[in-house]
């Protein structure tokens, strides 16, 4: 993620931010009006897009799984493995996160 703050004018600003400020300043120097139209600029990486796609895929996969379980339950073919369920419950209770 890159953040360009046009209000940064000191030497502590990153070189990229200083360059972006100069470029923005050149672009608005000839503009007429009462004030500068330049504002803060934020650029998000493609990682955010990938995360959004992953979340969307997870949601649709989970919805499909719930729908399949609902169909099994309604038709009377859904069965629970009691051994697996009990082991998962005990493991969850004994784990630090389960407390």
Reported as a single tens digit per residue, the pLDDT across 9-30 is 555 555 665 666 666 555 544 4
Q: In the predicted model, is pLDDT for residue 59 greater than 70?
A: yes
Ramachandran category for residue 53: left, alpha or beta (phi over 0 → left; psi -120 to 50 → alpha): alpha
Q: Give me the pLDDT at residue 33, please.
A: 47
Alpha helices in 1-99 (DSSP H): 15-28, 46-75, 82-94
pLDDT in tens, 32-52: 445 556 778 777 778 888 888
Q: Give me the pLDDT at residue 52, please.
A: 87
Task: Tokens for 35, please give them.
Answer: 């004030």
């Amino acid at each position: 993620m890159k953040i360009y703050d046009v209000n940064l004018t000191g030497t502590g600003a990153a070189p990229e931010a200083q360059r972006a400020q100069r470029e923005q300043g050149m672009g608005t120097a000839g503009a007429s009006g009462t004030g500068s139209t330049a504002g803060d600029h934020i650029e998000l990486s493609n990682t955010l897009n990938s995360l959004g796609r992953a979340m969307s895929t997870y949601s649709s996969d989970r919805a499909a799984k719930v729908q399949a379980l609902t169909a099994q339950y309604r038709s009377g073919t859904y069965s629970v493995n009691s051994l697996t369920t009990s082991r998962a419950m005990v493991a969850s209770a004994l784990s630090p996160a389960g407390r």
